[in-house]
């Protein structure tokens, strides 16, 4: 055991999430491409949390190898995050089923009923992201076993609604399945607050980037340690005719280059030098490989520094176990104060 029996209020408040995940505390690690690989995932699960492999940049062979490597490092539960728009999704699902993955997180869009059913028949617990109450209910009817609600404070690709608003919209009205809250969480006080609203647990990504066990490049980690919340900003769309899916990341030279590139490309389109399709593809491909350049190669000026606004609460490089226990201690204290205020 990892010592979470020292936090009885927190464990009781997380009982539903802990039972669903099979972990000591219902703190999921958000899947981050190039960061959430087998070493970090196993470390989080071994420390009592719930690690999740990020399959975004993997092909089926790579995913199979990562699952096997994770199993070699931990005998505790962990999950796999699959992007529903991945061109090899069906094969990736096959890999998860063959490997006996216990939990699969479907991300990046609305999953199909068929994929959910296949995973469920194989015994996997399926989680999906719900950006609204209506879609949350639709996912439950589809057979999803748990939901994640993630607000715009999160890192990477984001929606338009904040975590606090999504929590108020969904948590009081949906009890059929466990709901995990994500986006902007970096302190146990906030964990306690969402548990009090009915969440089964939480998901956090940014706070684990600077774990000692994270393979992210030292320069990538230092960028997080130095950053404040206001440094993590969504990408800018400069022309309404050319859609940019917003991505929250730390500002750097690449952020400025992206704005300049859009302006240049749109000007060439308006001048008749590029077709709409050519212009759109040029803008869309700007960030291709940029996350790898930052995380793996350490190019923190021209790479993409995807980070949530909770990055302002990341102040040092520490072991996963220390991060989890600090969060648990903060949440336990917050729950105790609320119990005293309520007379219970």
The angle at the Cα of 111, spanning 276 to 124, to the nearest 5 degrees, equals: 145
> At 206, which helix (H) or strand (E)?
helix 206-209
Tokens representing 33 are 């491409």
Q: Which residues does 62 contact at the CB level (< 8 Å), separation at least 6?
A: none
Q: What's the whole-model pTM score? A: 0.94
pLDDT tens sequence for the chain (344 residues) = 458 999 999 999 999 999 999 999 999 999 999 999 999 999 999 999 999 999 988 999 999 999 999 999 999 999 999 999 999 999 999 999 999 999 999 999 999 999 999 999 999 999 999 999 999 999 999 999 999 999 999 999 999 999 999 999 999 999 999 999 999 999 999 999 999 999 999 999 999 999 999 999 999 999 999 999 999 999 999 999 999 989 999 999 999 999 999 999 999 999 999 999 999 999 988 998 999 999 999 999 999 999 999 999 999 999 999 999 999 999 999 999 988 876 55
For 45, 87, 151, 213, the CA distances from 25, given in Å and listed in that order, are 10, 34, 22, 19
Q: Which residues does 139 contact at the CB level (< 8 Å), separation at least 6?
A: 110, 111, 128, 130, 147
Give the pLDDT confidence score for residue 1 in this predicted structure. Answer: 45
- Hey, what's the torsion of the CAs at 86, 113, 110, 176, to 10 degrees? -130
By C-alpha distance, which of 323, 307, 320, 262 is closest to 287?
A: 262
Q: Which residues does 230 contact at the CB level (< 8 Å), separation at least 6?
A: 309, 312
Phi, psi torsion values for 145, nearest 5 degrees: -90, -20
In which residue ranges of the chain is CATH 3.20.20.70 found?
Answer: 4-215+315-341
The total number of residues shown for the chain amounts to: 344
CATH code reported for the domain at 4-215+315-341: 3.20.20.70
Say if CB 142 and CB 110 are below 8 A apart: no
Give the pLDDT confidence score for residue 2 in this predicted structure. Answer: 58
């Amino acid at each position: 055991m990892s010592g979470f029996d020292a936090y009885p209020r927190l464990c009781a408040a997380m009982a539903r999430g802990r039972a669903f995940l099979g972990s000591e505390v219902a703190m999921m690690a958000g899947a981050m491409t190039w960061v959430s690989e087998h070493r970090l995932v196993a470390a989080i699960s071994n420390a009592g949390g719930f690690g999740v492999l990020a399959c975004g940049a993997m092909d089926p062979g790579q995913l199979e190898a990562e699952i096997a490597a994770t199993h070699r490092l931990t005998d505790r539960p962990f999950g796999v995050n699959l992007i529903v728009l991945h061109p090899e999704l069906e094969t990736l699902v096959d890999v998860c089923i063959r490997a006996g993955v216990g939990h699969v997180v479907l991300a990046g869009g609305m999953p199909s009923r068929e994929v959910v059913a296949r995973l469920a028949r194989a015994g996997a617990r399926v989680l999906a992201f719900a950006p609204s109450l209506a879609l949350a209910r639709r996912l439950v009817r589809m057979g999803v076993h748990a939901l994640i609600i993630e607000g715009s404070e999160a890192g990477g690709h984001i929606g338009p609604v904040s975590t606090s608003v999504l929590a108020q919209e969904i948590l009081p009205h949906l009890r059929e399945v466990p709901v995990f809250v994500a986006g902007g969480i970096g302190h146990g006080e906030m964990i306690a607050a969402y548990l009090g609203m009915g969440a089964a647990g939480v998901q956090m990504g940014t706070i684990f980037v600077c774990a000692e066990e994270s393979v992210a490049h030292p320069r990538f980690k230092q960028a997080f340690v130095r950053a404040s919340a206001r440094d993590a900003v969504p990408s800018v769309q400069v022309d309404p005719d050319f859609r940019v899916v917003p991505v929250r990341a730390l500002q750097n030279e690449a952020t400025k280059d992206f704005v300049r590139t859009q302006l240049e490309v749109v000007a060439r389109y308006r001048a008749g030098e590029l077709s709409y399709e050519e212009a759109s593809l040029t803008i869309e491909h700007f960030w291709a490989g940029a996350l790898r350049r930052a995380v793996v190669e350490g190019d923190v000026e021209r790479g993409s520094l995807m980070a949530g606004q909770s990055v302002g609460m990341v102040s040092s490089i520490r072991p996963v176990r220390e991060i989890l226990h600090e969060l648990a201690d903060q949440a336990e204290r917050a729950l105790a104060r609320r119990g005293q205020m309520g007379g219970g």
